[in-house]
Structure 1
């Protein structure tokens, strides 16, 4: 779930990523892709077992790890050798191993930890991807075919998965916030409502920069609880409040200067997205502005492979989609809103391929 129009990108933009390493032949590329399932599950199994957290900075044997983690030593030894093959471990002796630089990323305490992402991908994306043919044949989500319930309902039933997902969303917000603040001046805004604002990470960052602005987070009771804990006792407590509600039920706080929907609309099909936007149009007054923070689907795939990958994820997981600028214009018009401007921004990322084509879509009443 990961936008910009090409003509708005600076001349210093990084070169377009290649479909595969230039020294890799087509047969090598397909062979690598065909074996990707095994690599995903090695990562997922290593995180589930807690191997990296147990090893830390130590050199360990399979016997030491097996005893600490209550794992079968012989099977574990074979698994550790496979982790060496994937450069997650380094073999330091006949029976001893230590984490490689890549393996360190599986630790929960690493500042760039990939643990939550791996847990989520292994438990959600992996089984859903195996049922992609169902989506192609029916147009329905592979997720509901596999799990029997919609995506967000399943997360609500699984605290551990929900925690991993929320952790990923938190990191996504942290990567986008500097770009959002650079693309929009919130200093003259009196009140902001963040619709589906989760734990308040984005709105808190905005209010920390816009010292005279107040804000409201609107989200489900189960999500709002975390926002309350985050806000309580903080410097923003007097300027930031929360309202419990359901985006699909409507009843959004009325008359704010700015409404924000960040990474929300892409989760839903056109009918569902239109319902949300209509509720927002009903709450807006006068010069109220709605800011959609979304990725814009490129005309050519190579311009933003990560946006295309996120669109594919939406197909399988929620039935939503990443939309082009023209598709957003049409969707907004049907919802009683108009797209007045699109402001691209750059997302902070260590991986150029995952930056996506993010933008602020400025919307007003018709």
Structure 2
């Protein structure tokens, strides 16, 4: 039925008519529904990442994933295609704004003064802290203004800027700070390396090798400055994901001595030991130059976590220890199938019956579209930084590598960090 050129909805006799007045139902528009769902999703999103744990319950995590997935799908249909193309084409500039705001220590300054600051006030403090050539005021103001549209900063009254929930994670003192992660993956070096992917497409080499004429590990040995940036960036990622990985693998509590093979600075292992109030002993094994940096990192931790540091090369030989739990986090994905099998075989040579091996990695085809999209970005990052044979694997491929190397009873524990934990045991009598 049409009245005054508009369709008239007849709700008489329906279930909704018994609950709501007819005049209210007639005023409900499509945008009302989407607005309600949007507000619900915002509240749900806030709850799911609310302080202090940043770890939603599994039901809430799954529900939140489905809600955001629905809105992403809906957004694809309502956002014009040409706008999506244009936005994606300049997406790297948003990353550059994030980097510059972080590099200039703007979040740290705003956190310290505890009040909004104008562009002029921020320039003065940035120049004082850097001790370098003064930055351009007009350019800084434009970057700050752009950052406010990317939710990196919020523009308060009188054109003053303050922190947002997002930029809180850029403050160095934040317990889950991602400051060094941003400096690594959004920095000048990463931009050059990522740009080289256009040449990698033809050469089959990593963006890193196209840029430096050598792979990542040799360059890290020769460049201590980049080594520190790299280690700190990965350390940020480990600390951020650790709570979910620890919570979603309860068997950690039964371990007496954990060995983290290729554990870097020891960030993840430190989080595990701290969570269990140091009732577990820990050993961090990595290359000599990494262990040197790990000593400085762990020395600054005044919480009593006992971590033994052992230097070596897991592609050659692993030391005999009293460990009953061995971790390979973000390791196998950096190696070819042949080298990954070699690493696992070396590990098989030092484990005892009943010891468990945990392969903690991002595994393909295990999550929602949003999670798989993040994995695709991670895969592109690996193409840029890691040797060409590095790649993410499926669950079946990891199971096959473990079985080929003498490990059985493999099972997978999903986590709310996007990682999966594959647990296996050696076939030893």
Give the TM-score range, shorter chain: 0.7 to 0.9
Partner SS, residue 251 of structure 1: coil
Matched, 1:85 2:146: yes
Distance 2:62 2:117 in 1: 47
Q: 1:235 aligns with which of 301, 304, 312?
A: 304
User: Does the aligned pair in 2 maintain the 1:189–1:257 contact within 8 Å?
Assistant: yes
Distance 1:10 1:37 in 2: 29
Q: 1:10 to 1:21 in 2, by over 3 A?
A: closer
Q: 1:76 aligns with which of 137, 141, 163?
A: 137
| Equivalent position of 1:248 in the other structure | 315
User: Does the aligned pair in 2 maintain the 1:143–1:150 contact within 8 Å?
Assistant: yes
User: Does the aligned pair in 2 maintain the 1:54–1:65 contact within 8 Å?
Assistant: no
| Equivalent position of 1:3 in the other structure | none
1:89-128 to 2 correspondence within 5 Å? 90=155, 97-99=160-162, 101=164, 106-109=170-173, 113-120=177-184, 121-128=186-193
Distance 2:175 2:255 in 1: 34
TM-score, normalized by length of structure 2? Answer: 0.69
1:291-306 to 2 correspondence within 5 Å? 291-298=358-365, 302=369, 304-306=372-374
| Equivalent position of 2:273 in the other structure | 207
1:341 Cα deviation (Å)? Answer: 1.0
Q: 1:291 to 1:52 in 2, by over 3 A?
A: closer
User: Does the aligned pair in 2 maintain the 1:258–1:288 contact within 8 Å?
Assistant: yes
User: Does the aligned pair in 1 maintain the 2:278–2:304 contact within 8 Å?
Assistant: no
| Equivalent position of 1:346 in the other structure | 416
Q: 2:262 aligns with which of 179, 186, 196?
A: 196
1:322 Cα deviation (Å)? Answer: 1.3
Q: 2:347 aligns with which of 255, 280, 283?
A: 280
User: Does the aligned pair in 1 maintain the 2:327–2:357 contact within 8 Å?
Assistant: yes
Q: 1:163 to 1:179 in 2, by over 3 A?
A: same
Q: 1:157 to 1:332 in 2, by over 3 A?
A: same
Distance 1:61 1:234 in 2: 39
User: Does the aligned pair in 2 maintain the 1:52–1:107 contact within 8 Å?
Assistant: yes
User: Does the aligned pair in 1 maintain the 2:314–2:343 contact within 8 Å?
Assistant: yes
Bigger-Rg structure (1/2): 2
Matched, 1:136 2:190: no
1:130 Cα deviation (Å)? Answer: 1.3
| Equivalent position of 1:175 in the other structure | 240
1:221 Cα deviation (Å)? Answer: 2.4
Matched length: 345
1:290 Cα deviation (Å)? Answer: 0.8
| Equivalent position of 1:216 in the other structure | 283
| Equivalent position of 2:251 in the other structure | 185
Partner SS, residue 261 of structure 1: strand
Distance 1:10 1:89 in 2: 27
The CA deviation string for residues 116-175 of structure 1, in whole angstroms up to 9 with x for no partner, is 233212234322221223333333211111122212333344444333333332232223
Distance 2:182 2:246 in 1: 29
Root mean square deviation, CA, Å:
3.4
Which structure shows the higher helix fraction? 2
Distance 1:284 1:110 in 2: 38
Q: 1:38 to 1:292 in 2, by over 3 A?
A: same
Higher RCO (C-alpha under 8 Å, 6+ residues apart): 1
Q: 1:72 to 1:37 in 2, by over 3 A?
A: same
User: Does the aligned pair in 1 maintain the 2:242–2:268 contact within 8 Å?
Assistant: yes
Q: 1:308 aligns with which of 376, 384, 392?
A: 376
Moved more, 82-91 or 287-296: 82-91
Q: What 5-or-longer segments of structure 1 have no aligned partner?
A: 1-7, 348-355
User: Does the aligned pair in 1 maintain the 2:107–2:163 contact within 8 Å?
Assistant: no
Distance 1:174 1:233 in 2: 16
